[in-house]
Amino acid sequence: MEEELRINGTLISYYYTCKREAWLIYHGIESDQEDDNIAIGNLISKESYPREKKEISIMGSKLDIISSGDKGLVISEVKKSSRNMKGSKMQLIYYLKMLKDNGVNAVGELRIPKEKKVIRVELTEEDEISISKATGEIIKLISGKIPDAVSINFCKKCSYSEFCWTD
């Protein structure tokens, strides 16, 4: 029996940042958990917005915050910085589409407490097409062999850098 490939929001974010990192995450190859950037991100997530309902697991994904807004349900992702906005936005779009596909309409927010930013994200038809296409591409990616390491501007602060760049 063929195993069903499980896509989640975190994998979507990594896919838009680095395809090799997405492949490693999916295949259970852990990054350096002692990495300072991981610790800082975890601390920001834990300490920010203490009165909000946090880390809600839905359909294989963990949503950072769920709250009520003036127009209904609001899904928020808390990020350490605005450095990777494309991956962060697409992760949130994935959540909004997943909820919509299950009969729940919501809007999203990217919250960057360190920068005092809140960026509203609403699901559009174009976003739905983009995320569906990306999901198909991710399935091909994770079904194949590990992608080659490619140097990008995120490598310097990546917790996989030793894995990718050590001989």
pLDDT digits over 89-109, tens only? 999 999 999 999 999 999 999
Q: In sequence order, which residues have a C-beta less than 8 Å from that of residue 130 and are 6 or more positions away?
A: 90, 93
Beta bridge partners of 23: none
Compute how many other C-beta atoms are within 10 angstroms of the C-beta atom of residue 107: 18
Indicate the domain borders of the chain: 9-165
Q: Which of 72, 17, 62, 33 is nearest to 160 (CA)?
A: 33
Asked if residue 121 lies in contact with residue 109, where contact means CB atoms within 8 angstroms, the answer is: yes
Least confident of 11-25, 47-61, 71-85, 98-112: 47-61
Percent of the chain at pLDDT > 90 equals 48
φ, ψ of residue 151 in degrees (nearest 5)? -75, 120
Which contiguous run of DSSP H or E holds residue 123?
Answer: none
pLDDT of the residue at 34: 61
**pLDDT class for 155, splitting at 50, 70, 90?**
confident
CATH, domain range 9-165: 3.90.320.10
The conformational region for residue 17 under phi > 0 = left, psi -120 to 50 = alpha, else beta, is alpha
Q: What pairs with residue 112 in β-bridges?
A: 117
Does residue 20 surpass a pLDDT of 80?
yes
Other Cβ atoms closer than 10 A to 12:
25
Among 39, 45, 31, smallest CA distance to 88 is for: 45
146/127 Cα distance (integer angstroms): 27
pLDDT at 84: 86
Q: What is the pLDDT of residues 64-93, one digit of tens each?
A: 888 887 778 999 998 888 888 999 999 999
* Window from 12-16, 38-42, 68-72, 107-111 with minimum mean pLDDT: 38-42
Beta bridge partners of 147: none
Q: Which amino acid is at 128?
A: E
DSSP state of 83: T
